[in-house]
Amino acid sequence: MSELRGLQLRIEDFRAEGSDVIAVSVDPVERNREVAERLGLEFPLLSDPDLAAIDAFGLRHPGGSPFSGGDVSRPALFVLRDGVVRWRHLTDNWRVRPRAGDLLEVVQQVAADAQ
């Protein structure tokens, strides 16, 4: 959840770049609502308990939940521009994720490349 906090701390920087932040989790709506409220998130935290979006991006990690042993999503970050994935970060380790500042630099580079 520290990555969600980090994104929230930099939300105005992402907005200044014309970027929207959206998070997707396998957790149910109720759990995501609690997390979003507790962390004060100003961006959507969407629920994908059936893993439809997660499967569409090829991110299913069978048996990857450290708590239940159920299927979860591999941690992933995507930067899209004009409906096209321009950058992605995938990992099998849920603890390994770029910091919000690093992601912001990618967003800025993608925007610069588009000009």
What confidence tens digit (pLDDT) does each residue in 48-83 have?
A: 999 999 999 999 989 888 888 888 888 888 888 888
CB 32 within 8 A of CB 46: yes
pLDDT band at 96 (very low <50, low <70, confident <90, very high): confident
| Burial of 31 per CB tally in 10 Å (0-12, 13-18, 19+) | middle
| Burial of 26 per CB tally in 10 Å (0-12, 13-18, 19+) | buried
On the question of pLDDT at 108 being above 80, the answer is yes
Q: For residue 90, what pLDDT is reported?
A: 86
Q: For residue 94, what pLDDT is reported?
A: 66
Q: For residue 38, what pLDDT is reported?
A: 96
Q: For residue 4, what pLDDT is reported?
A: 92
Q: What count of other Cβ atoms lies within 10 Å of the Cβ of residue 69?
A: 10
On the question of pLDDT at 1 being above 70, the answer is no
CA distance 14 to 16: 5
Domains of the chain in sequence order: 2-114 (3.40.30.10)
